[in-house]
Structure 1
Amino acid sequence: MRTPVTGSTGDDIASSRVTGQDGDVDFAFVSGNPALDLAGTVGSRRDAPVDTLTEPADLERWVAECEELPDRVTADAETFASALELREAIYRLALDRVHGRAFNRSSLRTVNDTATWPVLAIKLSDAGLRMSGDLRATLSHIARSAITLLADPGACLKECGRADCTRIYLDRSRGARRTWCGMEECGNRVKAAAYRARRRAGR
């Protein structure tokens, strides 16, 4: 049973093109944290949610494309369902943080429980840090990343300023002046729409 996608009551982009169940989709890694990037695999949550993780193979590709996770994992139906449950829990908690309200208790349990699963193995080489492990360990790593982020009082979490985007991101810009989750995906769209509106008004 798939975990239902929750709706929202809420600058450079790096994306990789992958082939999902319904054709080509983009996985964007712009949120500054793998947990937030996982939550961002559902777009436009307020009006017409678009889920880019429609089957286990999509999740395998997403993990492979995320630079902070292992190069390869295998997802079965059970772990895929767990990943979607974790994704929705992270999104709810991040949105709670953005709006300054108490964390959802059910979502807290999901994230905290997942964080107790086996952890990824790490190895240092001349090429840098390499992680390895199965999908359960990967989900544990994502849950731990979410906990570290959400427990940090100094972390500035924001919801994208584009009306149709509900992605939550970590703003590390000077003065916390970042407005959009990604310039290519959302910033340029907003600027182009504003330009067209000015053109129409000037006619």
Structure 2
Amino acid sequence: MDHAFPCGNLALDFVGTLRARRNPVPVEKLTSPDSLAAWYREAGVVAGSDVNCRPADVPKAIAVREAIYALVFARLNELPYDERAASIVNAAARLPAAVPQLLPRGHRIDATAEQALSTVARDAIAILGGSDAELLKECGRPECTQVYLDRSRGGRREWCAMETCGNKMKARAYRARKKDQTRPVATRP
């Protein structure tokens, strides 16, 4: 598996394909038609078939991803609604979505690159336009910019995923406490 899915949410995990976006050199995971097709497969947007992504599909997908992030960022920071970003997401969502097909044993989901992207855009609209928008948070690890829905009891979740960011933050706090305990205490003469 080439991609990570810490949120369990299609649109927010798609936003996470640009990792550490505030770092001097963010990590782009959508670098080719193959990496975009792999993300659609691994995310379950397509199943039992493949999406045939072309080079022109990558910048379109990145534009939708960045528009989703702009809308989420505005929501999280109580900034004005971004009309341009909304129009990009809405345009992608207007196209037909991926098509699930029932099979004698299981199912298959067929999609063109545009249909797969439409499925992601529709999920973003469902989040941002519904009650789940109140649950949006950004990971508390400074190096991470993953956005997630906080469904924890009391809404006190701090990290996108405990296995990655949560463990790193807890280890960092532990090392800082240990370092403070080993510092010699200065005494006055």
| Smaller-chain TM-score bracket | 0.7 to 0.9
Tell me the TM-score normalized by structure 1: 0.82
State the shift of 1:124 in Å: 3.5
Over 3 Å counting, the alpha-carbon distance change for 1:139 and 1:191 in structure 2 is: same
State the shift of 1:60 in Å: 1.1
1:196 to 175, 180, 185: 175
1:140 to 118, 134, 141: 118
Unpaired segments ≥5 residues, structure 1: 1-15, 19-26
Q: Return the letter of the residue paired with 1:63.
A: Y
1:40 to 16, 31, 38: 16
1:94-148 CA deviation, whole Å, 9 max, x = no partner? 1111112222111111000111112221223575554211111010111111001
Q: Which residue of 1 aligns with 2:70?
A: 92
Are residues 1:185 and 2:161 paired?
no
Counterpart secondary structure, 1:115: helix
Equivalences for residues 78-89 of structure 1 within 5 A = 78-89=56-67
Q: Is 2:30–2:58's contact at 8 Å kept on the other side of the alignment?
A: no
Task: Provide the C-alpha distance between the structure 1 equivalents of 2:20 and 2:88, rounded to a whole number of angstroms.
Answer: 23
Task: Provide the C-alpha distance between the structure 2 equivalents of 1:112 and 1:135, rounded to a whole number of angstroms.
Answer: 16
Q: Which residue of 1 aligns with 2:40?
A: 63
Are residues 1:109 and 2:87 paired?
yes
Q: Which has the larger radius of gyration?
A: 2
Task: Provide the C-alpha distance between the structure 2 equivalents of 1:44 and 1:119, rounded to a whole number of angstroms.
Answer: 29
Moved more, 149-158 or 178-187: 149-158
Task: Provide the C-alpha distance between the structure 2 equivalents of 1:161 and 1:131, rounded to a whole number of angstroms.
Answer: 35
Task: Provide the C-alpha distance between the structure 1 equivalents of 2:40 and 2:89, rounded to a whole number of angstroms.
Answer: 18
Q: Is 1:43–1:166's contact at 8 Å kept on the other side of the alignment?
A: yes
Task: Provide the C-alpha distance between the structure 2 equivalents of 1:141 and 1:42, rounded to a whole number of angstroms.
Answer: 19
Q: Return the letter of the residue paired with 1:38.
A: F
Higher-strand-fraction structure: 1
Over 3 Å counting, the alpha-carbon distance change for 1:127 and 1:66 in structure 2 is: farther
Count of residues paired in the alignment: 178
Task: Provide the C-alpha distance between the structure 2 equivalents of 1:161 and 1:116, rounded to a whole number of angstroms.
Answer: 34
Give the ranges of 4+ consecutive aligned residues of structure 1 lying more than 3 Å apart after TM superposition: 124-130
Tell me the TM-score normalized by structure 2: 0.88
Percent identity, aligned pairs only? 42
Q: Is 1:32–1:170's contact at 8 Å kept on the other side of the alignment?
A: no
Counterpart secondary structure, 2:157: coil
Q: How much is the aligned-residue C-alpha RMSD, in angstroms?
A: 1.6
Q: Return the letter of the residue paired with 1:187.
A: G
